[in-house]
Amino acid sequence: MTAADANPFLKQYLMTAGPTPLPPRVSQVMAEPIRYHRAPAFVEVYERVLERLPQVFRTANDVLCFAASGTGAMESAVANLIGPGDPAVVASCGKFGERWAELCDAYGAETGHLAVEWGERVEPDRLDEFIAGRERKPRAVYVTQSETSTGILNDIRALNEVATGHGAVLCVDAVSGLGAADLRQDEWGVDVVVSGSQKSLMCPPGLGFASVSGRALALAADNDNARPPGRYYLDWARTAKGQAEDPPNSAFTPAVTLFMGLDVALELIFDEGLDRVFARHAVLARAARAGIEALGLERFGPDDENANVVTVAALPEAIDGAMVPKLMRDRFGVTVAGGQGHLKGRIVRIAHCGYYGAFDIVVALSALEIALRELGHDAEPGAGVAAAQSVFAASGAPEPVAG
Amino acid sequence: MTAADANPFLKQYLMTAGPTPLPPRVSQVMAEPIRYHRAPAFVEVYERVLERLPQVFRTANDVLCFAASGTGAMESAVANLIGPGDPAVVASCGKFGERWAELCDAYGAETGHLAVEWGERVEPDRLDEFIAGRERKPRAVYVTQSETSTGILNDIRALNEVATGHGAVLCVDAVSGLGAADLRQDEWGVDVVVSGSQKSLMCPPGLGFASVSGRALALAADNDNARPPGRYYLDWARTAKGQAEDPPNSAFTPAVTLFMGLDVALELIFDEGLDRVFARHAVLARAARAGIEALGLERFGPDDENANVVTVAALPEAIDGAMVPKLMRDRFGVTVAGGQGHLKGRIVRIAHCGYYGAFDIVVALSALEIALRELGHDAEPGAGVAAAQSVFAASGAPEPVAG
pLDDT at position A398, please? Answer: 63
CA A271 to CA B375: how far, in whole Å?
A: 46
- pLDDT in the model for residue B226: 72
pLDDT at A2: 39
CB neighbours of A181 closer than 8 A, spacing ≥ 6?
Answer: A145, A146, A153, A278, A281, A306, A307, A308, A309
Closest by Cβ to B230, choosing from A4, A108, A335? A108
Partners of residue A210 in chain B, C-beta under 8 Å: none
Give the β-pairing of A337-338 and A192-196. Answer: unpaired
* Positive or negative: CA dihedral B48, B403, B211, B233: negative
Phi, psi of A347, rounded to the nearest 5 degrees: -140, 165
CA distance B385 to chain A (A): 24
Q: Using 50, 70 and 90 to split pLDDT, how confident is the model at B401?
A: low
CB contact under 8 A, A33 and B21: yes
Which of B25, B100, B207, B233 to mutate against chain A (most A CBs within 10 Å)? B233
Cβ atoms of A22 and B260 within 8 Å: the answer is no
Q: What is the mean pLDDT of residues B120-149?
A: 97
Does residue B13 carry a pLDDT above 50? yes
The CA distance from A274 to the nearest CA of chain B, in Å, is 24
Half-sphere exposure of B251 (CA within 13 A, CB side): 21
Domains of chain B, first to last = 3-21+273-395 (3.90.1150.10), 32-269 (3.40.640.10)
Strand partners for A211: A63, A193
pLDDT at position B396 over 80: no
Q: Do A67 and B72 touch (CB under 8 A)?
A: yes
pLDDT bin (cut points 50, 70, 90) of residue B5 is: low
CB–CB of B229 and A38 under 8 A?
A: no
| Cα dihedral A76→A80→A81→A85 (10° resolution) | 100
Cβ separation A108–B252 shorter than 8 A: no
Collapsing DSSP to helix, strand or coil, A253 comes out as: coil
Interface test with B, best of A32, A36, A95, A340 (most B CBs within 10 A): A36
DSSP at A299: E
Q: Is A232's CB within 8 Å of B106's CB?
A: yes
Distance from CA of A8 to the nearest CA of B (A): 9
List residues bridging with B115 in a β-sheet. B92
User: From the list B34, B44, B67, which residue is nearest A67 (CB)?
Assistant: B67
Cis before residue B247, ω within 30 degrees of 0?
A: yes
Name the band, by pLDDT with cuts 50, 70 and 90, for residue B1: very low
Confidence of residue B9 (pLDDT cuts 50, 70, 90): confident
**Residue A49 neighbours by CB under 8 Å, 6+ apart:** A65, A259, A262, A263, A266
Note whether A90 and A104 are within 8 A (CB): yes
Cα–Cα separations (whole angstroms), residue A16 to A73, A131, A312, A353: 21, 35, 12, 9
Contact B285, B364 (CB under 8 A): no
Instruction: Using CB atoms, pick whichever of B67, B106, B228 lies closest to residue A68.
Output: B67
Q: Do A40 and B1 touch (CB under 8 A)?
A: yes
- Show residues of chain B in contact with A12, CB under 8 Å: 33, 41
Q: Is the pLDDT of residue B297 over 70?
A: yes
Residue pair A141/A88 in contact (Cβ under 8 Å)? The answer is yes
CA–CA gap between residue A49 and residue A197 (Å, rounded): 12
B255 to A254: CB separation less than 8 angstroms, yes or no? no
CA distances from A195 to A59, A199, A238, B216, B393 (A): 14, 9, 19, 33, 53
Taking 70 as the pLDDT cut, the residues of chain A under it are: 1-6, 224-225, 397-403
Nearest CA in chain A to B83: A230
Contacts of A256 in chain B (CB under 8 A): 19, 198, 204-205
Find the residue in B nearest to A329 (Cα): B39
Q: How many A/B residue pairs have CB atoms within 8 Å?
A: 226
Does the beta-carbon distance from A71 to B252 stay under 8 Å? yes
Whether the pLDDT of residue B224 is over 80: the answer is no
One-character DSSP codes across B161-182: HHHHHTTPEEEEE-TTTTTTS-
More confident residue, B257 or B5: B257
Q: What is the mean pLDDT of residues B335-356?
A: 95
Chain B nearest C-alpha distance from A33 (Å): 7
Angle at A19 between CA A16 and CA A23, to 5 degrees: 100
User: Do the chains contact at B107 and A230, CB–CB below 8 Å?
Assistant: yes
CA distance B281 to B358: 10
| Partners of A88 in beta bridges | A111, A140
Q: What is the ipTM of this complex?
A: 0.95
Average pLDDT taken over every residue of chain B: 94
Question: Is A106's CB within 8 Å of B235's CB?
Answer: yes
> Of the candidates B79, B106, B256, which has its C-beta nearest A19's C-beta?
B256
Partners of A34 on chain B (C-beta within 8 Å) are 14, 19-22, 27, 204
Whether pLDDT at B3 is above 60: no
Kindly determine whether residue B206 and residue A206, on different chains, have CB atoms separated by under 8 Å.
yes
pLDDT tens profile B369-390: 999 999 999 999 999 999 999 9
| pLDDT over 70 at B124, yes or no | yes
* Beta carbons of A150 and A99 less than 8 angstroms apart: no
Residue B2 is predicted with a pLDDT of 39
CA dist B97 and B114 (Å) reads 10
CB B94 within 8 A of CB B122: no
Q: Is B40 close to A2, i.e. CB distance below 8 A? A: yes
CB contacts, 8 Å: A79 with chain B: 230
User: Which residues of chain B have a CB within 8 Å of the CB of A236?
Assistant: none
User: Can you give the pLDDT at residue A9?
Assistant: 81
Which of B253, B263, B348 is the best mutation test for A, with the most CBs of A within 10 A? B253
Strand ranges inside A259-324, DSSP E? 298-299, 310-314
All residues of chain A having their beta carbon less than 8 Å from the beta carbon of residue B235 are: 106
